[in-house]
Amino acid sequence: MEPILRAKNISKVFPGVKALTDVSIDFYPGEVHALVGENGAGKSTLIKILSGVYTPSEGTVEYEGKEVDFVNPRQAIDAGIAVIHQELSIAKDLTVAENVWLGREKCKSMGLLEKARMNKDTQEILDFMKVNLSATTEAGLLNAAQQQMIEIAKVISQNAKVVIMDEPTSSLSEHEIDALFEQVRILREKNVAIIYITHRMKELTEICQRVTVLRDGCKVDTMMVADVDEKQIVNSMVGREMGDYYNKHKHTQGEEMLRVENLTRKGVFEDISFTAYAGEILGFSGLVGAGRTEVMEAIFGATKIDSGKIFLRGEEVTLDTPAKAIANNLGLVTEDRRRTGLLLAKNIVENTSLPSLPAHASKLGFVNVPWEKKVTQEYMDKLRVKAPNMYTILNTLSGGNQQKVILGKWMAADSNILILDEPTRGIDVNARSEFYALMHDFVTAGGAIIMISSEMPEIIGVADRVLVMREGRISGELKEGEINEQALISLASITSDSVAS
């Protein structure tokens, strides 16, 4: 059988990062081909190249035996390569049929829409899919699973020959997943090649025929699912060499700083209990979407909790606003620097002093300018922020320096419990090791750090103790000496066992 789509020796280089190195994969019609690998392994980069979002730095894509060079997603779609993204792209106020034909509406002369025909065609597709949906229903009234059916109907209407599905089951319940798999089988019968990205090992055996494992931007292996078991696949996902830029230090656990008991927000995270100690970096591992960020936002008072207790230095506290958390010496370094971390159009002084302004203001509410200058200079020196001066606008700094400004902000606010959410994302290697050293200094001085990271080497290289989250719950704790990729993956992955239990 001839492959319909071939990635040949594809490499992709971004400034400072090599995302893919010499990856070659063949995709066959009528087959479900799984792409697995941990976060950052290169799966998304690969599908973006296949679907025309990125162009490869090296290598070629062959489609139906011919070399193709898509410069935008539209060309890929027109050729018959469709993507169903994890975040569905449904216009909620339009009907099912309008969504299916969005951007490709059928028109009569004069540009008038052929509504009836589009409705009829859509209904035929829906009937063919054997789903009980009306083409004229408003999409916003449907649930996530039904909206996904719209995406599939769209793909069928496009006569796509290759369908890329990016974690399609991540927001579906168990029985909705069965309905989705039914559609995957229908697509297979239509001889469509399906590229299926997933973190759930049990889905491989259920619907996939072939699986390719990616690690650090390289292809590890392509296997027939029938020939291997889950364990072998997980094994091939791990086993990378570790850089020594973490420069791991041994820390001594000090007094209890933060204790959380049975923290729950329904549908997001449940029954979260843990303790963070002074002098320790506590790692939070798990897949993206496991609920780690949400737990930390709730502890910081940025979102509400349904139940549970928070203790600071042994005393129960209510942290229902960030202001209260800050007053209790908590600091939160968010995952998305640009969206939730910094005032990008403002200077270093304004960013550094922001959370501590009220505490240092005069009686009449005037800003204490000498103090804010002094403290900004102090932390710019201490954290070695590279900028012309303290009035430099944040927008013009590198990611690493921006991150240092955020760290300085919380240190200036006298934080002694720091929550760092993916602290080194988008930061180059040198800035990273500098940042790790600063984290080390912080805990050595008696602070506590909670670090969320989706990068396993970072967790292994930096954390003294690790909690792993899976689907909104803590699935396990790893102490010094137990922290390795094997253990982290098996606690984080949704395997047959964990779903069954």
Based on CB atoms, which residue is closest to another protein, 296 or 494? Answer: 296
Based on CB atoms, which residue is closest to another protein, 304 or 339? Answer: 339
Based on CB atoms, which residue is closest to another protein, 213 or 412? Answer: 412
Specify which residues 215 forms β-bridges with: 218
Whole-number Å distance between alpha carbons of 287 and 194: 23
Under rule CB under 8 A, how many of the chain's residues touch another protein? 30
Based on CB atoms, which residue is closest to another protein, 396 or 444? Answer: 396
CB of 340 to another protein, least distance (A): 4
Contact code string over 403-422 relative to another protein, x by CB under 8 A: ------x-------------
CB of 318 to another protein, least distance (A): 15
Within its chain, how far is the Cα of 177 from the centroid?
Answer: 21
CB of 431 to another protein, least distance (A): 21
Structure token pair of residue 116: 């009836």
Based on CB atoms, which residue is closest to another protein, 58 or 93? Answer: 93
Per residue, the 3-state secondary structure of 261-304, as one string, reads: EEEEECCCEEEEEEEEECCEEEEEEECCCCCHHHHHHHHCCCCC
Based on CB atoms, which residue is closest to another protein, 188 or 404? Answer: 404
Structure token pair of residue 246: 């973490």
CB of 335 to another protein, least distance (A): 12
**Residue 273 · residue 473 · CB < 8 Å:** no
Tokens 């606008």 appear where?
393
CB of 371 to another protein, least distance (A): 12
Contact code string over 58-77 relative to another protein, x by CB under 8 A: --------------------
Structure token pair of residue 263: 């923290």
The neighbour count for residue 501, using CB atoms within 10 Å, is 6
Q: How far is CA 320 from CA 186, 297, 299, 316, in A?
A: 49, 10, 8, 13
- 461 three-class SS: helix
Based on CB atoms, which residue is closest to another protein, 15 or 481? Answer: 15
Whole-number Å distance between alpha carbons of 83 and 47: 8
Whole-number Å distance between alpha carbons of 167 and 35: 10
The verdict on 226 binding another protein (CB under 8 A) reads no
Q: Which long-range contacts (CB under 8 A, 24 or more apart) does 50-56 make?
A: 50/5, 50/7, 50/76, 50/81, 50/162, 50/164, 50/195, 51/76, 51/81, 51/83, 51/164, 52/76, 52/77, 52/81, 54/12, 56/10, 56/11, 56/12, 56/20
Contacting residue, 262, 395, 430, 486, with another protein by CB under 8 A: 395
CB of 63 to another protein, least distance (A): 35
Based on CB atoms, which residue is closest to another protein, 172 or 354? Answer: 354
CB of 362 to another protein, least distance (A): 9
CB of 449 to another protein, least distance (A): 18
Q: Where are the alpha helices (DSSP H) in 80-114?
A: 96-100
Based on CB atoms, which residue is closest to another protein, 328 or 498? Answer: 328
* Cβ neighbours for 8, distance < 8 A, ≥ 6 positions apart: 24, 59, 60, 61, 62
CB of 499 to another protein, least distance (A): 35
CB of 369 to another protein, least distance (A): 8
Scan residues 265-304 and list those touching another protein (CB under 8 A). 300, 302
CB of 79 to another protein, least distance (A): 33
CB of 247 to another protein, least distance (A): 30
Scan residues 315-374 and list those touching another protein (CB under 8 A). 321-323, 325-327, 332, 334, 339-346, 350, 354-355, 357-358, 361, 364-367
Within its chain, how far is the Cα of 11 from the centroid?
Answer: 22
Based on CB atoms, which residue is closest to another protein, 251 or 337? Answer: 337
Based on CB atoms, which residue is closest to another protein, 119 or 334? Answer: 334
Specify which residues 154 forms β-bridges with: none
Per residue, the 3-state secondary structure of 153-206, as one string, reads: HHHHHCCCCEEEEECCCCCCCHHHHHHHHHHHHHHHHCCCEEEEECCEHHHHHH
Based on CB atoms, which residue is closest to another protein, 110 or 364? Answer: 364
CB of 400 to another protein, least distance (A): 19
**Residue 450 · residue 460 · CB < 8 Å:** no
Structure token pair of residue 27: 């995709």
Based on CB atoms, which residue is closest to another protein, 358 or 446? Answer: 358
* Contact footprint for another protein (CB under 8 A): 300, 302, 321-323, 325-327, 332, 334, 339-346, 350, 354-355, 357-358, 361, 364-367, 395, 409
